[in-house]
Amino acid sequence: MCTRVVWPDADGSVIVGRNMDFHMDLLTNLWKLPRGIERSDGANNTLTWKAKYGSVVATAFDLIATDGMNEEGFAGHILWLAESDYGKPDADAVQLSQAIWLQYYLDNFATVAEAVEWTESSQVQIAQLFDPTGHLVPTLHLAIDDATGDSAIIEYTDGKPKVYHGREYQVMTNSPTFDKQLELVKEIDGLGGDKPLPGSTLASDRFARASYYVARQVQPKTQIDAIAAMFSIIRNAAQPFRTPEPGKPDASQTIWQVVLDLTNKRYAFESTTRPNIVWVDFDELGFEEGTKVQKLNLLGRLALEGGLAGNVSAEFTDESKLIGGLRAAGVDALEWVAREQDEFAAVKKAVQRLVGHKKKAE
């Protein structure tokens, strides 16, 4: 599920690209979230906070932030990692639901260093959700980057956060785990080895191609040049439309891609199913506490004729209380089902035993 690339020295700017790969349309829209929103962890409800920073996020089903950037130029990206193992969260541990994981970081941190320090000191545990669409349990890892060019990858393979922190960690894809990706890429010609640059859609091959091309960029003359170069890199790592491999949403087609300028605070979005590239300039948005949550409708407005294109900073619309309440209720429902998964499993087994006994009696 996806590729993320950081170009930390694009003529003074930090440029990030990301592909979203999935087996179905996530009905993604952009949301503008102001400072001051009060949230809780969605797990054991012991961690609460008030957003220090406003952000723009790309959502799945208008419920969960999958990608985004805050007003300080700190950004985060959720990708799929099949090897993820969050363990069984301790009742008294610092926890975050997967539904709020990325948003917590966007709300609270201005730099990767701050985020890494908190992650390692808190040993935050992740409470897993159910995927309401594909009947899969999401297994995710998180990439973060900031306007200084710093980067970190956060993975859970034994219930605890494993953090890879440094400007050199420019690329993240999916399986295998990040430490193994770093070893595999050394085998490629131009990256330390003698094997030819691979061309398949395997995550390890996408990792190699993205690493190769981001290391060979010429310095851009303009921001447009820098954004265009990053789009070319992530398109090279994109996955064509095809029948997805069973049980492998990370081996699915690319449905959208974004390019972020963390220095100049621009967030560009391109769908692979709807025409027109659009972008948002943060200096044209208001993130003041007390301002409204706003939504940019990408589903209905990326039309070929008369649709949104170019700078759409002024096109966000106020989110009604009704829809806002439904969005919050939807997230609450996902988190409640996740917290009660053991009870649901017990009921399912009891019903199966009962049905089995009834069949035998007949």
> Which sequence positions are flagged as catalytic?
2
Residue 43 tokens read as 């797990």
Task: List phi, psi (to 5°) of 95.
Answer: -130, 155
Query: 203: exposed, middle or buried (C-beta count within 10 Å: 0-12, 13-18, 19+)?
Result: buried
Query: For the chain, what is the largest distance between any 2 Cα atoms, rounded to a whole number of angstroms?
Result: 79
**Which residue(s) pair with 56 in the sheet?**
32, 69
Helix, strand, coil % over all residues of the chain, rounded to 5:
30, 30, 45
| CA-closest candidate to residue 270, choices 234, 220, 319, 242 | 234
Residue 40 tokens read as 């809780």
Phi-psi region of 166 (alpha: psi -120 to 50; beta: other; left: phi over 0): left
Residue 144 tokens read as 């973060």
The DSSP secondary structure of 18-57, one letter per residue, reads: EEEE-SS-----EEEE-TT-EEE-SSSS--EEE-SS-EEE
